[in-house]
Amino acid sequence: MVKVAVANSDALRSDADLLVVPVFAGRDLGPGAAEALAALGTPHELLLEARGFEGKAGQAMVLPTFGRLPAAELLLVGLGERDQLDAEALRRAAAVALRAAGRARRAVTTLAQALPDDRAGAVQAVSEGAHLGAYRFDKYKAATREDSARDNGRLAELTVSMPDGAGGLDTAATRGEIRARATNLARDLSNEPASSLHPEDLAEAARRLVDKGVTVTVKDERALAAEGFGGIIGVGQGASNPPRLVELRYEPEGASARVVLVGKGITFDSGGLSLKPSEGMEAMKTDMSGAAAIVGVMSALADLGVRVAVTGYLATAENMPSGSATRPGDVLTMRNGKTVEVLNTDAEGRLVMADALAYGAESQPDAMVDVATLTGACMVALGMKYTGLMSNDDALAAELLDAATAAGEPTWRLPLPREYHKQVESEVADLKNVGTRWGGALNAGLFLEEFVAERPWAHLDIAGPARADETDAHTPKGSTGAAVRTLLSWLERRGER
């Protein structure tokens, strides 16, 4: 991981391998860019035009300095429109810079100077983006293991130049690192092959990775059966690796509120007896991205000094076909006593989530939020980049939407229409686990609402943004760690009330 520091220095005179400066759309030079280009002694307008560099977000261009600057190379990074600059633009630019740094080991940047009205926020964003952009999941690549052993090929140090004074800004850089580290932890967990991460392995990972002010308790299959967790048991009973419910509890002194977080932890989803086609299973190791997000969040609370008491639940199971698997038409009795007719065993996420939500509601928290790769229907509605948010509480929904905007994670609120509730009503049980194909994401939300005991609750469907098919700025191909930073922003703000 790259080391980010803040210095009260002139970036153009810093001894580094690489100098990173911003350029706005229309080749509008940002802090340090005009001076750096002037030092090269080349008409920059012609140079940038010849290279097709316009300062658009995501663009980067490397130029040799030929000894005219202390840095061996100059990297221009696009920020997009000047009047639309925000923290997310800085995160993305910092990540682009990391990926374009080549073999440079030490870099200095003026990126944070582009947002002078929020110096701490700018430094945090650059640090966060740099650490997110530096992420790689390459533990199974032999060539990369050899590269890592030689300690080559990655930027090791990034200095954020703030010549008007760096006092107190190291804290901002550290906060950015903490938030990125939590996100990268979630990425690591959900990128792990399902053969290496069964429910018990996820429980062990939680014990190992969440150790600062967080206590971890695990219910095994015997405890789950004895205590009425029919949904988790029903989903996991077809697998040779039994299910778990993992509780992570963070109790800061003088907590201002109590919240419950629930994450879907299906470590592999074959669809059960309602078997998926083979192409539908290819990415199903990431069906525990909601649980991974909760682990990431819980790992950062103490370091960020969050003043909210948080209990996280990982509802984890493998959904596999076998002679002992739940059959279509079976009826399960859930933790809150409601019965559910299972008509499609591939709609399993809502079953494990329902049990965990019902259990979490028993403590009467001030708010509950669940995170799940729940429905393909949400991807149909919102595409691959937007989280779908459903809630029974307008104030809570507004808080989460604001937090998502601040975190740079696109989120859109969807309704919970009362008139659709009949879609999840069963003729033989209290509920059924699927409705019609129309409004499938909303039907899933209405199903989950039956288990929150009227507590303020929000559901985040991350089926789209939890996984990316290609790298985009600070979002890598593969698992993205979706919702971690949104939840951290929300919890930090809750604790400041």
Question: Which residues carry out catalysis?
Answer: 276, 350
Q: Phi first, then psi: give them for residue 198, nearest 5 degrees.
A: -85, 175
CA–CA dist 216, 312 (Å, integer): 9
Say how many C-beta atoms besides its own lie within 10 A of residue 240's C-beta: 9
- Extract the runs of DSSP E, i.e. beta strands, from 359-415: 367-372, 387-391, 411-413
Structure tokens at 206: 């939680």
Q: End-to-end CA distance of the chain, in Å?
A: 33
Q: Which of 464, 453, 463, 462 is nearest to 485 (CA)?
A: 462
DSSP strand pairing (73-80 vs 3-7): unpaired
> CA dist 199 to 110, 186, 284, 463, Å?
45, 15, 14, 20
Q: Mapping DSSP to helix (H, G, I), strand (E, B) and coil, where does residue 368 land? A: strand
CA–CA dist 188, 285 (Å, integer): 12
Say how many C-beta atoms besides its own lie within 10 A of residue 118's C-beta: 15
- DSSP for 206-219? HHHH--SSEEEEEE
- Kindly calculate the radius of gyration of the chain based on its CA atoms and give it in whole angstroms: 24
Asked if 292 contacts 306 with a C-beta cutoff of 8 angstroms, the reply is no
State the residue for tokens 């001894």.
15
Q: Phi first, then psi: give them for residue 21, nearest 5 degrees.
A: -130, 150
Q: Mapping DSSP to helix (H, G, I), strand (E, B) and coil, where does residue 24 land? A: strand
Amino acid residing at 489: S
Q: Which residues pair with 265 in a beta bridge?
A: 316
